[in-house]
Structure 1
């Protein structure tokens, strides 16, 4: 099942996304989370917490798929 994530601006960073979805509790945890857990952005492994996510992107985290709108 694909979960929809609505953007409120042009983009959101990967670290902000993880925090918004309560996958991590603080932005500082993003670096460590991304080192230890596979995150796929449009099918490609992504480890940069500052990576800009935009409308149309698909993100796979913790066996969940998110589509950004």
Structure 2
């Protein structure tokens, strides 16, 4: 399970980073930024539908307080 936990941590870092920089932006921009962040983290092996849903959630997120 340590391998799975390490992969999940990488995905979480990529999502957190993308959310911090791209929340509320258009889906295409968020999707590209998330894909790049996942690659940077070495976590590019994520089911495409999961990446799309995460990007959709980040894109729809409100920015700021």
Provide the TM-score with structure 1 as the length reference: 0.29
Provide the TM-score with structure 2 as the length reference: 0.30
Flag the structure with higher helix content: 2
Rg larger in structure: 2
